[in-house]
């Protein structure tokens, strides 16, 4: 009668049959025979039958409903914080476009990256808190990472971190870990958007199965695109379109944006190109405002400008002070026009008749400048002979601020289905990503746009600017003792390629002469220390005070090192300037001992 308790568990029905047969066989087979295994098997099943079925299920046989679900991990790993979520997903539940992906949120947590040594450590911490040692772990994980992804590996853009999905899966005991670019995750996120998650900027119906484009201004400018496979499932691909050239616009003789381009070329050390994200991004808004302030000093609002200078790189200052006929207001109008033009360029390249989605924090906060019949939409449609093509592209301004997490979760559910179906992983063939290295310009760069050879003096000046621009030697942890300061103050310094007569081209730095004779400084934003000049550089340096009026700041002096453009500094007093000159000359005249 106790066998009847097992009849509700299908996998044990056959065991009952085998046990009865084994008992019958055991009557005719002596226990000393090799076939006594059958007798022991029958005894084990008979003993197990004495255990109530409820206890059996509670220990080794999980609840049928629970066994149908799997855990998946999704993460949005930015430059400053990483957001992790754990979902329980029914792999048989279908994915429906324009709806949230299947799954119930189990837990989520946000981690500040500065407190950890690697993304691996963050994930291990998260799993230890939310998946105990005896509990199940996620079957798959998808990490959206800020950086270029190659062969399931990525080096973070703003952190000295690297992550390898295959190695991470092995160390964590997860069946598969997929690394994707953070903006690709936003692209996948567009597939989950419902009514209310976006505002449509035009009255164009999407075409099912057509390509999708996604663009988003934030700290930089992200772009990606999605294409449907034969089954109708969309796959997202990365793009570095934000680094394409900035193309100035202007009606008739209006050369304001051309002047902006010239200004940015000077600001960024005279390169022959400027990328569009120098204009269309949060940082780009700051660049536009700086240009307008430089060009129209009489229109500067002093209070706003002081606030802007006290928080460099904060586009929020400009947005808060944007009023009609103000420089801040004009900066946002130029930004909106350039943004619309870039969206139009992306649209004529990809023809995304399923929709062009505009994401990003900057876009959302400045939606008033993107909606309506303003500069944005006019620039979007203004593409000459192909302008009618853009009347077929649906434009959506996304309001949701969790696009990376949405996309990472959608991709994790897809990955779960692929793993359970036995679909092998697909790794793109590409060169592994290595650390950025400084490479001197090739000889081909030494030709002018007209193909004429430059004279040697011009070439030397070009190389000098290149070396000056890339002079930044990081001070490692093992070198800190040798770079301890013996003389340290705050100094003003001109930016790379800046004009010493322009107030906006000066930065305030903590600088010091180190024990080993080098001139070092602190990068406050990155909280990292760098060598500005080595002791060997200063041996033959010309260190001279500059006459009053030669720069926009008083008490300035120059340091000229062979092979580099002059570095211009300014102290807070005449005494301070004289002390710096004296200390630098001491280093110049000192011996190796």
Query: What confidence category does residue 502 fall into, taking pLDDT thresholds of 50, 70 and 90?
Result: confident
pLDDT at residue 33 greater than cutoff 50: no
**C-alpha distances in angstroms, 505 versus 96, 128, 276, 496?**
53, 49, 22, 8
Find the range with the poorest average confidence among 38-42, 391-395, 587-591.
38-42
pLDDT at residue 14 greater than cutoff 80: no
Mean pLDDT on 415-423: 92
Q: How far is CA 307 from the centre of its chain?
A: 27
pLDDT at residue 34 greater than cutoff 50: no
Q: What is the pLDDT of residue 28?
A: 41
The 10 Å CB-count burial string (b at 16+, else e) for 213-236 is bbbbbbbbbbbbbbeeeeeeebeb
Domains (range + CATH), the chain: 70-191+406-421 (3.30.420.40), 241-248+255-399 (3.40.367.20), 473-589 (2.30.29.30)
Mean pLDDT on 216-237: 94
- Determine how many CB atoms are found less than 10 A away from the CB of residue 399: 14
What is the full DSSP assignment across 353-392? TTEEEEESHHHHHTHHHHSSSSHHHHHHH--GGGHHHHTT
Over residues 554-573, the pLDDT tens digits come to 999 999 887 677 889 999 88
Find the range with the poorest average confidence among 188-202, 455-469, 542-556.
455-469
Mean pLDDT on 82-98: 93
Query: What confidence category does residue 431 fall into, taking pLDDT thresholds of 50, 70 and 90?
Result: very low
Q: What is the pLDDT of residue 427?
A: 53
Q: Which two tokens stand for residue 233?
A: 């499932």
Ranked by mean pLDDT, the top range of 45-54, 134-143, 476-485 is 134-143
Over residues 477-487, the pLDDT tens digits come to 888 888 898 99
Residue 226's H or E segment, with its range, is: strand 221-228
Over residues 378-390, the pLDDT tens digits come to 999 999 999 999 9
Residue 456's H or E segment, with its range, is: helix 456-469
Residue 574's H or E segment, with its range, is: helix 574-589
Query: What confidence category does residue 448 fall into, taking pLDDT thresholds of 50, 70 and 90?
Result: very low
Burial of 96 (0-12, 13-18, 19+ CB in 10 A): exposed
Burial of 260 (0-12, 13-18, 19+ CB in 10 A): buried
Q: What is the pLDDT of residue 334?
A: 96
Find the range with the poorest average confidence among 8-12, 371-375, 416-420.
8-12
- CA 36/CA 262 separation, integer angstroms: 92
Parallel, antiparallel, or unpaired for β 153-155 and 149-150? antiparallel
Mean pLDDT on 188-217: 95
Q: What is the pLDDT of residue 563?
A: 64
Q: What is the pLDDT of residue 346?
A: 97
Q: What is the pLDDT of residue 525?
A: 65
Q: What is the pLDDT of residue 475?
A: 86
- CA 362/CA 359 separation, integer angstroms: 8
- Indicate the Cα dihedral angle 338, 342, 344, 350, nearest 10°: 180
Q: What is the pLDDT of residue 434?
A: 44
Query: What confidence category does residue 449 fall into, taking pLDDT thresholds of 50, 70 and 90?
Result: very low
Q: Is the model more confident about 247 or about 438?
A: 247
pLDDT at residue 54 greater than cutoff 50: no
pLDDT at residue 282 greater than cutoff 90: yes
CB 511 within 8 A of CB 493: yes
Name which of 25, 47, 44 is nearest 36 in CA terms: 25
Name which of 537, 445, 522 is nearest 488 in CA terms: 522
Q: What is the pLDDT of residue 250?
A: 84
Helix (H, G, I), strand (E, B) or coil at 534: coil
Query: What confidence category does residue 270 fall into, taking pLDDT thresholds of 50, 70 and 90?
Result: low
pLDDT at residue 450 greater than cutoff 50: no
- For the chain, the average pLDDT equals 81
Ranked by mean pLDDT, the top range of 288-302, 438-452, 454-468 is 288-302
Mean pLDDT on 428-447: 36
Mean pLDDT on 12-35: 46
Q: What is the pLDDT of residue 343?
A: 97
pLDDT at residue 17 greater than cutoff 60: no
Q: Is the model more confident about 534 or about 411?
A: 411
Mean pLDDT on 39-60: 43
Q: What is the pLDDT of residue 189?
A: 97
Q: In the chain, what percentage of residues exceed pLDDT 70?
A: 78
Mean pLDDT on 157-167: 87
Q: What is the pLDDT of residue 82?
A: 93
Query: What confidence category does residue 157 fall into, taking pLDDT thresholds of 50, 70 and 90?
Result: confident
pLDDT at residue 501 greater than cutoff 90: no
Q: What is the pLDDT of residue 480?
A: 86
Mean pLDDT on 11-40: 46
Total-model pTM: 0.63
Q: What are phi and psi of 285, to 5 degrees?
A: -60, -40
Name which of 269, 266, 319 is nearest 289 in CA terms: 319
CB 179 within 8 A of CB 153: yes
Q: What is the pLDDT of residue 540?
A: 85
Find the range with the poorest average confidence among 48-52, 442-446, 587-591.
442-446
Q: Is 29 left (phi over 0), alpha (psi -120 to 50) or beta?
A: beta
């Amino acid at each position: 009668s106790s066998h009847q308790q097992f009849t509700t568990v299908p996998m044990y029905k056959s065991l009952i049959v085998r046990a009865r047969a084994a008992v019958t066989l055991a009557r005719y087979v002596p226990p000393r025979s090799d076939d006594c295994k059958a007798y022991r098997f029958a005894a084990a099943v008979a003993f197990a039958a004495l255990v109530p079925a409820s206890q059996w299920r509670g220990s080794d046989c999980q609840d049928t409903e629970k066994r149908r679900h799997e855990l998946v991990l999704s993460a949005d790993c930015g430059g400053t914080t990483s957001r992790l979520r754990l979902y329980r997903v029914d792999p048989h539940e279908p994915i429906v476009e324009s709806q949230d992906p299947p799954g119930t949120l189990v837990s989520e947590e946000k981690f500040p990256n500065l407190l950890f040594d690697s993304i691996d450590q963050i994930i291990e911490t998260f799993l230890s808190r939310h998946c105990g040692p005896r509990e199940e772990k996620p079957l798959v994980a998808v990490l959206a990472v800020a950086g270029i992804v190659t062969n399931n590996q990525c080096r973070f853009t703003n952190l000295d971190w690297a992550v390898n999905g295959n190695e991470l899966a092995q160390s964590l005991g997860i069946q598969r870990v997929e690394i994707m670019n953070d903006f690709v995750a936003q692209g996948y996120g567009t597939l989950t958007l419902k009514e209310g998650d976006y505002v449509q900027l035009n009255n164009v119906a999407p075409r099912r199965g057509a390509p999708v484009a996604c663009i988003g201004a934030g700290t930089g400018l992200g772009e990606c695109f999605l294409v449907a496979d034969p089954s109708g499932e969309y796959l997202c691909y990365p793009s570095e379109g934000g680094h394409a050239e900035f193309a100035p616009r202007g009606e008739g003789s209006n050369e304001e944006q051309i002047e902006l381009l010239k200004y940015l070329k000077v600001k960024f050390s005279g390169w022959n190109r400027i990328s569009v994200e120098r204009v269309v991004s949060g940082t780009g808004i700051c660049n536009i405002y700086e240009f307008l302030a430089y060009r129209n000093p009489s229109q500067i609002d002093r209070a706003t400008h002081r606030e802007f200078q006290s928080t460099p790189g904060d586009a929020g200052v400009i947005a808060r002070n944007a009023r009609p006929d103000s420089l801040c207001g004009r900066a946002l109008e130029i930004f909106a026009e350039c943004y619309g033009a870039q969206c139009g360029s992306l649209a004529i390249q990809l023809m995304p008749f399923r929709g062009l989605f505009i994401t990003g924090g900057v876009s959302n906060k400045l939606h008033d400048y993107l909606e309506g019949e303003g500069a944005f939409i006019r620039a979007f449609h203004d593409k000459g002979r192909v302008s009618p093509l853009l009347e077929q592209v649906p434009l959506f301004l996304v309001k949701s601020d969790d696009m990376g997490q949405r996309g990472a979760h959608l991709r994790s559910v897809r990955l779960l289905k692929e793993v359970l179906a036995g679909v092998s992983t697909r790794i793109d063939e590409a060169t592994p990503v290595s650390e950025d290295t400084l490479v001197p310009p090739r000889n081909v760069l030494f030709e002018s746009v007209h193909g004429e050879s430059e004279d040697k003096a011009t070439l030397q000046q070009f190389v000098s600017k290149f070396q000056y621009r890339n002079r930044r030697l990081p001070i490692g942890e093992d070198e800190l003792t040798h770079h301890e300061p013996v003389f340290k103050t705050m100094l003003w310094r001109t930016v790379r390629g800046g004009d010493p007569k322009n107030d906006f081209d000066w930065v305030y730095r903590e600088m010091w002469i180190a024990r080993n004779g080098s001139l070092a400084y602190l990068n406050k934003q990155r909280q990292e220390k760098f060598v500005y000049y080595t002791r060997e550089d200063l041996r033959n340096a010309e260190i001279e005070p500059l006459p009053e009026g030669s720069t926009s700041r008083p008490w300035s002096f120059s340091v000229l090192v062979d092979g580099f453009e002059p570095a211009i500094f300014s102290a807070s007093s005449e005494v301070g300037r004289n002390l710096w000159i004296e200390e630098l000359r001491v280093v110049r005249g000192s011996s190796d001992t």
